[in-house]
Amino acid sequence: TRASSKVIKVEAPYGKPVDAEDVRRAGKGKKINIIGFAHGETSTGVVTGIDPYRKVADELGALLIVDTVASLAAVPLDVDRQRIDICFSGSQKAISAPPGMSPITVSPAAEEVFRKRKTKVQSWYFDLTTAMNYWGKDRLYHHTPPISLIFALREAMRLVAEEGLEARWERHRVNQLALIAGIEAMGLDLLVKNPADRLPTVTAVMIPSGIDDVKVRNQLLDEFNIEIAGGFGAVKGKIWRVGLMGYCSQKPFVLLFLAAVEKCLLDQGFRVPSGAGVGAAIRSYSQVETAAAVSR
Amino acid sequence: TRASSKVIKVEAPYGKPVDAEDVRRAGKGKKINIIGFAHGETSTGVVTGIDPYRKVADELGALLIVDTVASLAAVPLDVDRQRIDICFSGSQKAISAPPGMSPITVSPAAEEVFRKRKTKVQSWYFDLTTAMNYWGKDRLYHHTPPISLIFALREAMRLVAEEGLEARWERHRVNQLALIAGIEAMGLDLLVKNPADRLPTVTAVMIPSGIDDVKVRNQLLDEFNIEIAGGFGAVKGKIWRVGLMGYCSQKPFVLLFLAAVEKCLLDQGFRVPSGAGVGAAIRSYSQVETAAAVSR
């Protein structure tokens, strides 16, 4: 690696999370300093549970680093209770602030590791030990902050607080459920088979055989102003990745997307029961709303 | 250093540029890979000529790296003609775009050095070899760009082009001349004695003995909404640093600043001939404008 550390990779098939048990087995009897993983894996739309990893990290005496770029403010997460040593994210996904910033939290245990370093961190900007001197009472100049982005992030966080984290998690869940209901009603499959493993912000849809991947994505963009992502690596040309994050996770977008996909598929000769996707999504919303009304 | 390279420091007294001849002497007979210096030194308000450094770098077979953070778009600079191998700057100074970006140029000679590297650059974001794959025809994903800042930078550059680089250099020069005329007419001294060494964007003013540094700066901010910087290190409490960069380099700001400083000095019992600073600045502007009209 760039930082000359030794890394043991533990893998899982595309569409499934890496089992924390496999990580425990791989680390057993070795000196493991850090265990790291992505809470939300955007390349496949898989969500990975944090608690089993914390348990393994405790057993192995390792710090736990969690990438929450695609999950923060969209998927249940409790940095303190789940004792994440380093949790980092991006500003531009479910928080829906402009890109250019990476929120990060550091636990006292991780801070102690930084303070005990004997060699300097090679990157000035990534050196939290000097940034700490800015946060501390010295307030020593570290770098010129991107103030306009910071104000934008503050406003975005205000909107998150106004909606409420729990309400935001629920909104992402409900909109994805409707999207999935619509996708499946059109006869399409998902890459992630187990519903519990599905990342609420990114849904990976299997491209039906005979359908031109790029043509559909271009038509969605040109005709409907909707941009979705293709797959890369082993799933290139095999999946579409549909993002429902922050501002974009809303009912009108889900319904319009399903209608637009039906049009694109029909134009390529793929036969879908008329209005099936939109109809199924509407029924999914109605069921969730009725259930919520009953429980109230 | 962080990157475990050997560095030979060549220094000069505060308020004077480092002589390129001293650099030549220090590097003679040694294998020097890089010569680097700041075109505009903000901590003292010194500008350093680039051409003599290019000559020394050629003699020693070194790449030339120039920090133009405080000078780009304010001080004459010709990256191609002066053959600067790596020239970097900031978006938030004389370009007057929001902070958060660093324009950088890389010469073919520097690019060749990057391509020949045998070890990976430790910092992902600072690794131009991977960024080059994005600029190239592959357009391989490198990072999420701060798009809103990029649009802002584009607009700021449009304004620079609209004004014209030469006109912008001249504006910075003329406003600093007026500022200096005013400062000196009030009986204050400058840190940089040689006019040719004065950086047009930052003027370091010696604080008169008996005057409370922080009190003046706070009064300027509270009473006039003007923020200037103090000194740090060896010149802490000894100088004020007055920035006239990009948008801020304009006649009304210079005149108001001189008036405001007179008020602050008077309030601390420092006797200034009434209106001397503003009067001298006005005469400086008139002379420059008359000369320009004559030469037209």
What CATH number does residue B235 fall under? 3.90.1150.10
One domain for residues B285 and B171: yes
Q: Is residue B1 part of a domain?
A: no
How do the pLDDT tens digits run along chain B, 296 residues long?
Answer: 788 889 999 999 999 999 999 999 999 999 999 999 999 999 999 999 999 999 999 999 999 999 999 999 999 999 999 999 999 999 999 999 999 999 999 999 999 999 999 988 888 888 888 888 888 887 778 889 999 999 999 999 999 999 999 999 999 999 999 999 999 999 999 999 999 999 999 999 999 999 999 999 999 999 999 999 999 889 999 999 999 999 999 999 999 999 999 999 999 999 899 999 999 999 999 999 999 888 87
Say whether A122 and B122 touch across the interface (CB within 8 A): yes
One domain for residues A199 and A106: no
Nearest by CB to B99, which of A123, A126, A147? Answer: A147
One domain for residues B200 and B232: yes
One domain for residues B130 and B33: yes
One domain for residues B66 and B184: no
One domain for residues A70 and A128: yes
One domain for residues A169 and A129: no
For B276, list phi and psi in degrees, rounded to 5. Answer: -60, -45
One domain for residues B55 and B133: yes
Q: Is residue A10 part of a domain?
A: no
Q: Is residue B150 part of a domain?
A: no
Q: Is residue A139 part of a domain?
A: yes
Q: Is residue A3 part of a domain?
A: no
Q: Please provide the average confidence, as pLDDT, over all residues in chain B.
A: 95
Q: Is residue B183 part of a domain?
A: yes
Given CB atoms, is A90 within the 8 Å cutoff of chain B? yes
Domain boundary residue among B111, B145, B179? B145
List Cβ<8 Å contacts ≥24 apart for A263-271.
Answer: A263/A219, A263/A223, A264/A215, A264/A216, A264/A219, A264/A220, A264/A223, A265/A186, A265/A208, A265/A211, A265/A216, A267/A219, A268/A210, A268/A211, A268/A212, A268/A215, A268/A216, A269/A210, A270/A208, A270/A210, A270/A211
The CATH number that applies at residue A32 is 3.40.640.10
One domain for residues A53 and A109: yes
One domain for residues A106 and A185: no
- Cβ neighbours of B121 in A, within 8 Å: 2
One domain for residues A141 and A171: no
One domain for residues A256 and A290: yes
Domain boundary residue among A79, A111, A145? A145
Given CB atoms, is B144 within the 8 Å cutoff of chain A? yes
Q: Is residue A39 part of a domain?
A: yes
| B140 touches B134 (CB < 8 A) | yes
Domain tally for chain A? 2
Q: Please report the number of interchain residue pairs, chain A to chain B, with beta-carbon separation below 8 angstroms.
A: 61
Q: Which residues pair with B191 in a beta bridge?
A: none
Q: Is residue B152 part of a domain?
A: no
Residue range B184-223, pLDDT digits in tens: 999 999 999 999 999 999 999 999 999 999 999 999 999 9
Residue range A185-213, pLDDT digits in tens: 999 999 999 999 999 999 999 999 999 99
Quote ipTM for the complex: 0.88
CA distance A98 to chain B (A): 7
**Domain carrying residue A179:** 165-295
Residue B1: predicted pLDDT: 78
Which chain B residue lies closest to A147 (C-alpha atoms)? B99
